[in-house]
Amino acid sequence: MLKLILVPLLLTSILQARENPFFPADTAQDMPYTSNQKFNYPPFKQASVVLPSSARVIKKVTIEYETLDASTEIKTIEINNEIDWHLPIFISQSYSPIKHENQKLENILREDFYRDNTKKEQKVIPKKAKKNKLKKKSKAKTKSKAKFKKIASFHKNTFMSNGKTIKIITKNKIIRNFLLVKPHRIVVDLKADLKMKSYKKSLKNSIFKTIRIGNHTGYYRIVIELDGMYKYNTKQLKDGYSITLK
């Protein structure tokens, strides 16, 4: 009697059991295998990298990360944008939430609505007044574009700078100009027989670090030391020359 009861129980247990209990069930096929390795890394906040002065375009960013099973993988993002090598590049997980597209559309429609209404309420301005206003605006633009600052002056040579451009205001003609390295510096030779002492001026908070002038037979030499690696273009002006870095 006991045998008759045990035999059916054994048969049912065999039918319900898996072929190999040491492998995961079919329902766990999509579950990733994880490692028992303990992670003691601090939480990531921010990292930065400073590129050399020869860097001009950032092509791509590659991140190597560790997965749950302790293997490493790589993710690359194409960028292809110009950069300023003076500034560091930051990697961070902090972000500002992106507004919903409907909210963006609502803001655009609201701006258009107010713009149209303000246009209707504007008074009619005579043509002469409009012309005068346009002239004033164009003058203001040209003034804002030509904000050159005097940085040095020596023996009828004045040096003005604005961003990556330096002007040499002089009546003398350039014989030659070339670039030297270690450190990077632009050499400009101007034709003139002058009796003068050598001159040097150091500049703070400028990509043009120092300006040196020395006298030679039949010409004098201007050396402009730079804060990094650059190419440059020269352009003749009415009152001298301009040198633009790139």
Give the residue-averaged pLDDT of 89-100: 70
Only one residue has tokens 């700078």, namely 161
Please say whether the beta carbons of 216 and 172 come within 8 A.
no
Only one residue has tokens 């030679």, namely 216
Residue 83 one-letter amino acid: I
Handedness of CA 144, 187, 198, 217 (dihedral sign): negative
pLDDT of residue 68: 87
pLDDT of residue 41: 84
Please say whether the beta carbons of 167 and 153 come within 8 A.
no
pLDDT of residue 133: 61
Higher pLDDT, 136 or 218: 218
Residue 6 one-letter amino acid: L
Only one residue has tokens 């045998």, namely 3
pLDDT at 10 over 70: no
Domain CATH number, residue 214: 2.60.40.3500
Range(s) of the domain holding residue 219: 149-245
Q: Do residue 73 and residue 161 come from a single domain? A: no
pLDDT at 191 over 70: yes
Residue 163 lies in a domain: yes
pLDDT at 120 over 70: no
Q: What is the pLDDT of residues 142-190, one digit of tens each?
A: 554 568 999 999 888 999 999 999 999 999 999 999 999 999 999 999 9
Please say whether the beta carbons of 34 and 69 come within 8 A.
yes
Residue 207 lies in a domain: yes
pLDDT of residue 239: 93
Taking the C-alpha atoms of residue 28 and residue 41, their distance in angstroms, rounded to an integer, is 29
Taking the C-alpha atoms of residue 229 and residue 183, their distance in angstroms, rounded to an integer, is 9
Q: For the whole prediction, is pTM greater than 0.85? A: no
Residue 206 lies in a domain: yes
Taking the C-alpha atoms of residue 200 and residue 154, their distance in angstroms, rounded to an integer, is 10
Q: Do residue 75 and residue 153 come from a single domain? A: no
Count of domains for the chain = 2
Single out the residue of 169, 237, 182, 159 nearest to residue 53, CA to CA. Answer: 182
Residue 138 lies in a domain: no
Q: What is the pLDDT of residues 210-222, one digit of tens each?
A: 999 998 999 999 9
Residue 141 lies in a domain: no
Residue 11 lies in a domain: no
Pairing of strands 57-66, 46-49: unpaired
pLDDT of residue 195: 80
Banded model confidence at residue 119, pLDDT cuts 50, 70, 90: very low
Residue 238 lies in a domain: yes
Taking the C-alpha atoms of residue 188 and residue 178, their distance in angstroms, rounded to an integer, is 7
Q: Do residue 156 and residue 88 come from a single domain? A: no
Residue 188 lies in a domain: yes
